[in-house]
């Protein structure tokens, strides 16, 4: 049993039974100096509140991903401390959480954009060449103005490729406040968290990010070769 739990039990016994602190500490095998100890760390409450806020918007993030976001915000915190605080706040992930609950949670704070560069939607459109080879097009659309700052076709996309394209787009047109993505492997990778996108990534259920942008994912045939 941790000292924090023992300290709470001592307080309960002293309040309900009217015994002294010394006697209650002796019952729970807690040293009186440990009971009277108070942490001198500064900003602990503010740091814990920020961890809660991150986990409310990104419910599938473990302590490692949360730690990456804290460091990106300029907070000097050790990963071991993030690992200790994370379960203490009751944020430990459960592997058997139904996916339908997670998707509903990720969509509950969606609001329509009210200005340009407020919300971007990012998703992949799939196509196929005449040779049969499949191609993926990374499509970024401003949900308010319907302007598309990027249409990047490639055969293979990785998380680092997405970060590279985002950096180039944001240098030309500025950073959006929010980028809406789905649960694709390219969008939930650590590279995208570490990338200096300057925007908040909000996850949705697969396919939801493309609906507000009027994208079409219907495959079509594109001719290739010199005689196309």
The kind and range of the H/E element at 165 are helix 159-173
Q: What is the pLDDT of residue 26?
A: 92
For residue 193, is pLDDT > 80?
Answer: no
pLDDT digits (tens, 9 = 90+) for 82-96: 888 888 887 776 555
| Unique residue bearing structure tokens 């040293």 | 31
| Residue partners of 154: CB distance under 8 A and separation at least 6 | 135, 136, 137, 138, 161
* Contact in structure between 138 and 210 (CB atoms under 8 Å): no
Distance, in Å, from the CA atom of 12 to the CA atom of 76, rounded to the nearest integer, reads 36
Joined tokens for residue 142: 């401003």
pLDDT digits (tens, 9 = 90+) for 65-122: 888 888 888 888 888 888 888 888 877 765 554 555 544 445 445 677 888 888 888 8
Mean pLDDT estimate for the chain: 75
Distance, in Å, from the CA atom of 190 to the CA atom of 65, rounded to the nearest integer, reads 7
- The mean pLDDT of 177-196, rounded to a whole number, is 66
* Contact in structure between 113 and 212 (CB atoms under 8 Å): no
| Unique residue bearing structure tokens 């009210």 | 114
Residue 132 gets the label, from left (phi > 0), alpha (psi -120 to 50) or beta, of left
Q: What is the pLDDT of residue 221?
A: 34
Q: What is the pLDDT of residue 20?
A: 93
Distance, in Å, from the CA atom of 66 to the CA atom of 193, rounded to the nearest integer, reads 10
Q: pLDDT above 90 covers what percent of the chain?
A: 10
Kindly report the pTM of this predicted structure. 0.46
Q: What is the pLDDT of residue 206?
A: 44
| Unique residue bearing structure tokens 């939801």 | 208
């Amino acid at each position: 049993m941790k000292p924090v739990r023992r300290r709470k039990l001592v307080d309960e016994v002293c309040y309900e039974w009217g015994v002294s602190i010394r006697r209650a500490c002796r019952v729970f095998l807690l040293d009186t100096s440990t009971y009277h100890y108070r942490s001198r760390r500064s900003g602990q409450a503010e740091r814990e509140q920020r961890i809660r806020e991150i986990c409310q918007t990104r419910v599938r993030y473990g302590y490692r991903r949360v730690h990456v976001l804290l460091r990106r915000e300029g907070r000097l915190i050790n990963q071991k401390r993030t690992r200790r605080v994370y379960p203490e706040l009751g944020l430990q992930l459960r592997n058997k959480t139904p996916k339908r609950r997670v998707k509903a949670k990720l969509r509950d704070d969606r609001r329509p954009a009210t200005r340009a560069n407020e919300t971007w939607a990012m998703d992949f459109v799939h196509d196929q060449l005449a040779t049969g080879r499949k191609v993926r097009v990374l499509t970024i659309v401003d949900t308010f103005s319907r302007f598309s700052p990027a249409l990047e076709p490639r055969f293979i996309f990785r998380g680092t490729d997405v970060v590279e394209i985002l950096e180039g787009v944001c240098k030309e047109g500025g950073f959006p406040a929010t980028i809406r993505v789905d649960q694709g492997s390219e969008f939930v990778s650590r590279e995208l968290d570490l990338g200096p996108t300057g925007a908040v990534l909000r996850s949705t259920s697969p396919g939801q990010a493309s609906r507000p942008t009027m994208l079409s994912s219907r495959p079509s045939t594109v001719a290739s070769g010199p005689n196309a």
